[in-house]
Amino acid sequence: MIRLLGILILFIFTISCNDYQKILNSTENEVDKYTAAEKYYNNGEFRRASALLEQIMPSYSGKPQGERLRFFFANTYFETKSYYLAAIQFENFIKSYPNSQRIIDAYFMEGKSYFMLSPIFSLDQDETNTAIEKLQIFINRYPNSEFTTEAIELIEQLQNKLEKKEFEISKQYYTIRDYNSAIRSLDNFVADYPGTIFREEALYYRWMSTYEIAINSIESKIIERVTELERSLVNFLRYYPETIFIEDLSNKLNNAKKIIN
């Protein structure tokens, strides 16, 4: 029974492929291709729909159907994860049909395509910046759109990625034990991104940098620096009384006090 079912599925798949190839290779009936492209699109078979749409779009240029086909064509690229091509096609749609009923969708999908192109934080962030720019343009143009909330959330994710990159650069100074540079870089980071989700961690590594400098200071400076270390910890805990770093910070401060006693 299972074998028979497998043969039946294979048979249906073969017929489907044959039907698709037949209409794809046809050079005569554009209407049939239009109907087939729409069917494949609605069924979520976006690669097949894309190939047919690419063939018939020139025939419908300037006609009422042309606008609809071009939007669908752009979206097939998005649905098949060809986000760079999707961004280009949505941009082309915006330029070609600025008064379209789908213009809001196109602006949003252009920005979302660039969002999907945004790489991990450690890589070059050109696409991330472009995505923020495109999504902000969308929000400014259509602040009351049904997509606005999602666009704001996408920008927040992108901003966090940019902040993560800058934070990791600053943190790297601590990792390589260049503590003075770490302090300067982390101070700049906190000043540039006052509302960042990495603020607590940045201040932690700043304190740890001052700790390393303090305990390795010459005798004439160590007391002053440990005293300042304690003051800065009190200030840190004022902002983050339940910090996950509390045990480590307390242990480090106690260790510094033992050195001067």
Give the count of domains, the chain: 1
Tokens of 74: 């752009």
pTM over 0.95: no
Instruction: List pLDDT tens digits, range 192-249.
Output: 999 999 999 999 999 999 999 999 999 889 999 999 999 999 999 999 999 999 999 9
In a domain, residue 258? The reply is: yes
* CB neighbour burial string for 199-231, b if at least 16 within 10 angstroms, e if fewer: bebbbbbbbbbbbebbbebeeeebeebbeebee
Q: Does residue 128 lie within any of the structural domains?
A: no
Distance CA 57, CA 52 (A): 9
Euclidean distance between CA atoms 178 and 205, whole angstroms = 12
Domain that holds residue 236: 177-261
C-beta of residue 22 within 8 angstroms of C-beta of residue 34? no
Question: Average pLDDT of 134-154?
Answer: 98
Beta carbons of 96 and 103 less than 8 angstroms apart: no
- pLDDT above 50: residue 13: no
| Domain contains 192 | yes
Share of residues in the chain with pLDDT > 70 (%):
92
Contact 88, 78 (CB under 8 A): no
| Res 31 pLDDT > 90 | no
